[in-house]
Amino acid sequence: MKKIIKRTILITLLLALALAVAYFVPSIIKVLNLQKEAIAIVKSSSKSTFMETKTTIVYDAYDEELCQIKNIKDMYYVDFSEIPETLADAFIVMEDHDFYSHKGIDYKAIIRATFVNKQRGEIVQGASTITQQLARNIFLSQEVTWDRKIEEMFIAGEMEKRYSKDQILEFYLNNIYFGNGYYGVEAAAKGYFSKHVSELTLPEQAFIAAIPNGPTKYNPLTNFENTDTRRKLILRKLYDDDYISSMTFYTSYHEEVVLALADNSEVSDSVATYVRHCATESLMEAVGFTFRYNFDSEDDYNSYMDMYDSYYNRYQQMLVGGGYTIYTSIDRDIQDKLQNALDEGLSGYTEVSDEGTYKMQGSATCIDNETGNVVAIVGSRSQDGPSLGLNRAYQSYRQSGSAIKPLSVYLPYFMKGHFPEETMTDEYIPGGPLNADRSYAGEMTLADAIKYSKNTIAWKVYQEVTPQVGINYLMKMGFKKVWYDKDYNAAALGGFTYGVTSEEMAGAFATIANDGMYRKATCIRKIYGPEGKLIRDESERGGRVYSSMTCREMTEVLQTVVNGGGTGGAAAVDGWEIAGKTGSTNSDKDLWFCGYSPYYTTAVWMGYDYPEQIHGGNATTIIFREFMTQIHEGLVHKSFPQAKHNNSGNSGNTNNEPATINPEDNTEYQEPGTDGTTGSANSGTTGATGSGTTGTAGNAGNQGTSGTTASSGNRNDNATMVYPGTDVDTDVSGYQDKDAPVRGDADAGTIQ
């Protein structure tokens, strides 16, 4: 009996061992193969390996080469002896404190990071050494898998055997990404300070060392304060670890850093920056990243942005010099016409900043209504020499004024079953907004309230719609920073905490032109990988936001804004139906025109990077008119589809209408095939509220408080003004004071 038991136990153990071997052996073989592959990779490498690059080719709407995206590390590679010691030290203290003592893998750092991340409940600290980062950037993809991580560790170990520490640091500093197309310390020094890396001062060294940790978050062109804050952190770390003296620390800490940007057309070109941005986000979507626009709190938003920046930086690095083939919708002829129209429209503003950049700036985005694709985008005025490299069309958040009313006030109201022929009373509202001239027209239709941009009626309508629902419509169309305002009534008049971009406004107005179907604004058609495999096709994106009938009736109303004696008469294009809306802020600090024809949608903004009053009138209508006139030459005439009115005059939402998005459903807009992310909106509404800081171009974002907004003061002198009190310029003031009074002033000029 005992023999049987022993035999049974032995057989069981042997079976267990056999199963264990069967289970683990393939994994062990896989690991050994990864090690063998790592040895071969490093053995075949040399210094030239770390100087090689691949070129990404970009094609325009007609499949002709538009530009190339590539890093320039081969042109700016520098030997270790040319790199300031303190610059190398800055990366060591921030990225890999034990760089000179470990063998490629820092096991203490792994244990420390595991402990800290477990305590925080999220990944807040990494454990990759400088050698591992170099291995990943040169030899491996950026995808996050266990196989890649294991191979990365093997390669790092082999590199430590083949190369000296100084060589590894030299390779690393010549390959790390510094944003805006700059790879390596020499390229960064040339790009941001127009000097060799060996000539950088210590404050400048610490400044560029701050960027690679998050090339988006610490982009000097758009987030200078973030970069400078991290610069000071690096200097303190160098001092705390005895790399610099106390005197050097204090003088460097308080020394002001001033950028001296290189004249680099690829960096400052609106098309190149936008293509790179759109392609990066397309690659993120291709791997399943879900874009969010609604958040519960600042912490929720910051957590998302940390994840966004991580993905964005990873896939932008893959894109730049990765050998991709990108097909875009950019039409070079239309692009040139848009740039020229903007330049000509703002040519009267000649004042420049200390850096030599025009103080008066503008942005514009044009979308093909048939495809929803961006065919032209302009982020700044043309000028010789270096510029900020800032594409204001998608990077600058500005107050919208009344240009937002059709999107978040009236269309949501029509979606509830109301219609333009309904009447409301234009009257003084205690604690509410004023009309620009302090006069009121009494009873009027909603159509005329839109036509003459009446603040009082927009305010009343927004109370019925509720801020949560109104803002939710904007979030479903990809507006990135309006979530802050989902409880505040100031958004009824375009008073936002941060604001909107011309790209977002063009995408939203194109949704009206497209019968309520929203398609995320992008210039990407298709992306192919280095091996020729299709990675992303953007042709099938889209989702319904409004019903087609409400959009068609809104189009009829917005045509009267342009051709019926409304505020946008100066934007009229001879021989073509144009629908659109003007917008301006208090004292005309931001001026807009957003409009569309049956063919194209265009949004134009003008203003100062550091907001101040604009004198001379609203040139955006003139820019729009001149541009749209040119691009419609030779096109077959086409009219807008008509709304089907019933006996009461209401186009209504028929049972045959395609299912619309529930305006009170906070599910994030998502492209087909991706997982949505839900963020809830807080319930309840507030009384008269304030706006926030003015979202401005780049680093200028927090200058003063915004008092925003409402519609523009454009007038057609040939038109008869039926109603007095047209909204020119209303100020909803009181950032972080949500009970602040609402006041108005009327400084906007007119322009023909």
Closest CA to 516 of 540, 549, 541: 549
Three-class HEC string of 385-413: CCCCCCCHHHHCCECCHHHHHHHHHHHHH
Phi, psi for residue 666 in degrees, rounded to 5: -90, 10
Whole-angstrom Cα distance, residue 599 to residue 230? Answer: 47
What integer is the mean pLDDT of 437-463?
93
Crossing angle (nearest 10°) for helices 202-209 and 185-193: 110
Whole-angstrom Cα distance, residue 528 to residue 708? Answer: 44
Is 648 catalytic? The answer is no
Whole-angstrom Cα distance, residue 580 to residue 370? Answer: 18
Whole-angstrom Cα distance, residue 483 to residue 64? Answer: 40
Q: How far is CA 430 from the centre of its chain?
A: 38
Whether 28 is in a domain gets the answer yes
pTM for this prediction: 0.77
Whole-angstrom Cα distance, residue 556 to residue 470? Answer: 21
Whether 178 is in a domain gets the answer no
Whether 314 is in a domain gets the answer no
Asked if residue 619 lies in contact with residue 636, where contact means CB atoms within 8 angstroms, the answer is no
Q: What is the pLDDT of residue 278?
A: 97
DSSP three-state, residue 433: coil
Asked if residue 485 lies in contact with residue 475, where contact means CB atoms within 8 angstroms, the answer is no
Whole-angstrom Cα distance, residue 215 to residue 544? Answer: 34
Q: What is the pLDDT of residue 481?
A: 97
Q: What is the pLDDT of residue 126?
A: 53
Domain carrying residue 720: 332-744
- pLDDT of 621 above 80: yes
Q: How confident is the model at residue 186 (pLDDT cuts 50, 70, 90)?
A: very high
From 45, 329, 400, 402, the catalytic residue: 402
Whole-angstrom Cα distance, residue 40 to residue 162? Answer: 12
Whether 230 is in a domain gets the answer no
Phi, psi for residue 481 in degrees, rounded to 5: -125, 15
- Going by the DSSP 8-state scheme, the letter that residue 687 receives in this structure is S
**How many Cα atoms sit within 13 Å of 44 on the Cβ side?**
8
Q: What is the pLDDT of residue 70?
A: 75
- pLDDT of 513 above 70: yes
Better-scored residue on pLDDT, 23 or 547 = 547
Whether 307 is in a domain gets the answer no
Whether 49 is in a domain gets the answer no
Whether 134 is in a domain gets the answer no
Our count of domains for the chain comes to: 2
Whether 249 is in a domain gets the answer no
From 95, 285, 553, 668, the catalytic residue: 95
Average pLDDT, the chain: 82
Asked if residue 487 lies in contact with residue 685, where contact means CB atoms within 8 angstroms, the answer is yes
- pLDDT of 640 above 90: yes
What integer is the mean pLDDT of 488-496?
93
Is 95 catalytic? The answer is yes
Q: What is the pLDDT of residue 645?
A: 67
- pLDDT of 657 above 80: no
Q: How confident is the model at residue 485 (pLDDT cuts 50, 70, 90)?
A: very high
For residue 609, give the CATH number of its domain. Answer: 3.40.710.10
Phi-psi region of 436 (alpha: psi -120 to 50; beta: other; left: phi over 0): alpha
Q: What is the pLDDT of residue 54?
A: 80
Q: What is the pLDDT of residue 69?
A: 83
Whole-angstrom Cα distance, residue 425 to residue 727? Answer: 15
Asked if residue 366 lies in contact with residue 600, where contact means CB atoms within 8 angstroms, the answer is yes
394-403 pLDDT tens trace: 999 999 999 9
Any residues with CB less than 8 A from the CB of 279 and at least 6 apart, and which? 69, 319, 324, 326, 524, 527
What integer is the mean pLDDT of 451-471?
95
Whole-angstrom Cα distance, residue 164 to residue 461? Answer: 70
Phi-psi region of 576 (alpha: psi -120 to 50; beta: other; left: phi over 0): beta
Closest CA to 408 of 339, 509, 316: 509
Q: How confident is the model at residue 78 (pLDDT cuts 50, 70, 90)?
A: very high
Closest CA to 215 of 206, 226, 205, 201: 226
Question: Which residues on adjacent β-strands are paired with residue 367?
Answer: 374, 601
Query: Within the chain, how many helices (H) and strands (E) appear?
Result: 23, 16
